[in-house]
Structure 1
Amino acid sequence: MRVRNRHSRIFAVPQEKVGALIDTLAGEDDRLWACEVWPAMRFDRPLGVGAVGGHGPVRYSVESYEPGRSVRFRFSAPRGFDGFHEFTLRTTEDDETELVHLMVLRLRHPAWCTYPLLWRPMHDALLEDSLDRTERELTGTVRVPARWSLYVRLLRRVISGRWPFRFSSTKVPPSRTTAIR
């Protein structure tokens, strides 16, 4: 099974401003990735070719990087992901800047099953939250904020251990709670 998943947003700012946000990925002052509500992107060294890391259980390495222009990551996990994801910039016909996130995968077992049920909905929500964060950084506001689907909210609850039907009376420690929208 092949997957081509694209998210993008157009900003009325020069490419240099958007490119500067790409360069903050996985840094202490990451201003593109929605790390306030999703696992932060982290690497074993600063963003650059050969850096290894990922976010949460998703692992990858930096395959190519053009500062201020693009970065491509090659997947190493979860199992069954054979492909890449990348951020790139494009100038539109109106001289605006389009930030594009593209993920291209060839799914193998077990991802042919887990991708549509788990990874795709979570990925889509994460990317839209990251584009919201980018828009807020560049413009000070978000015209149409992304909303998590009921399914994404349910997945986040199950994954975080905050399923409403707990089998014990033990409460979830406050340090493990995350805002659910």
Structure 2
Amino acid sequence: MSWVPNNFDIRKHPFFATNVLEASCVAEALKATGTGLVLGSVLGASVGWWTAAPTNVVVRDSFARSGLMGAVFGSAYGAYCASAHIRHTDDWLNASIAGAVAGSIFGVKAGSIQKVVFHAAVLSVFSGLSYAGVKQQTSVKGLSFPELHERNSQGAHALPRPDPYAERIEEIRKRDAAKAE
């Protein structure tokens, strides 16, 4: 028996708000922090398992990585949401600001001002470009993110998938039957 109801659809109940302009920045940042804590601890445990480290090293590494990832995720998504609320728009610049915040945290952990500037610049550019690419891909289709997921669940990704070669195989069979007569 699962704790998730049978009729639960993640697309209809997303974890993060679908419209950042209407969301509470504190709530979204806390959710992102929790996500970062979980993913960081899983990453730390995975690295420890992969390197066959002693248990105390794995636990210490898991805590360190979960703290770093929680801080990065929470502050970046909080900056993204706050930037969107301050600017009253949701665009690539908000993602760039969030990338700069996340990069600066990685740079501070690395320990020099040059690394802070480098990480902030690289993650800012990467975040802005990736956000713009995703928005461009969905705007070409004229759909929002939830509409795109809904359409994908009904279209080519729906099960059972139609056989793309069924018509061609039927044509070949008819032609072969006509030749045999």
Is the TM value for this pair above 0.5?
Answer: no
Could you say which structure has the greater relative contact order, defined with CA pairs below 8 angstroms and 6 or more residues apart? 1
Higher strand residue share? 1
Higher helix residue share? 2
TM-score normalised by structure 1 residue count: 0.29
Find the structure with the greater CA-based Rg: 2
TM-score normalised by structure 2 residue count: 0.29
